[in-house]
Structure 1
């Protein structure tokens, strides 16, 4: 008898307040689905540099990693879920999130990114996720509630 991996809730993270709220929603929804949380920060080369292919990607990769780490700390403080996984990937954010949704029970994204790392999750990403994801999608906006969701 094979064991199936736990269901996943995928969260798009770009460092914006909306992605922090998305992480908080994921923590609330995880018990409902008996799921783990998979946070993804996806980045691509800035659009203002078409055709630009730098020798190294560490500058962009490091910036995305920093924004992911800060978002996790902002969302959870010291109470980061023990089974949370996170990754930083070089891919267009919408494509990365839609691909990750293939193995997810829920995808959570912010309505509009506007994060400090330009280009990670823009408003068009949430629209693309709603249109193309392989699972249900929850689109969140900045919180107005006292508990952050």
Structure 2
């Protein structure tokens, strides 16, 4: 029976920090083996308690394009690495908490497209570092 390959889950939101996280995960997996699952979580934005008027299809399409923009150059740089992409609709922390139960490693950028761009560690990354069910690497 062949050994199970390690599963590395990477959060990508289109930010430069998430691209650094994906490159780190691809290099890690290139050296040690495994599969990289690139996850982009999208949701219907709410402002002051009201949904903004954007269709789910438009939001999902924007998330897909953002993910592809980050993934394409990394796939080119690491052609031997098994990189799989997935879009999820939901809350970032909840989705990654669930994924962390099945992952061997969760890789995140130190901050993303959240409301507080100047934070040293994004609020989602901070929550996941504290509560994930697997080891977490935060890439700066």
**1:111 is aligned to 2:110:** yes
* Alpha-carbon distance in 1 for matches of 2:55, 2:44: 12
Three-state SS of the structure 2 residue aligned to 1:130 is helix
**Higher mean C-alpha displacement, 12-21 vs 92-101:** 92-101
How much does 1:140 deviate? 1.2
Change (3 A) 1:49 1:70: farther
Q: Structure 2 matches for 1:1-149, cutoff 5 A?
A: 5-31=4-30, 33-48=32-47, 50-52=49-51, 56-77=55-76, 79-81=78-80, 83-114=82-113, 123-141=122-140
Instruction: Quote the RMSD (CA, aligned, Å).
Output: 2.5
More strand by share: 2
Scaled by the length of structure 2, the TM-score of the pair is: 0.82
Change (3 A) 1:67 1:55: closer
Change (3 A) 1:70 1:135: same
1:82-112 deviations in whole A, cap 9, x for unaligned? 5211101101111111111111111000111
Change (3 A) 1:81 1:69: farther
* Alpha-carbon distance in 1 for matches of 2:48, 2:24: 35
Scaled by the length of structure 1, the TM-score of the pair is: 0.77
* Alpha-carbon distance in 2 for matches of 1:138, 1:30: 13
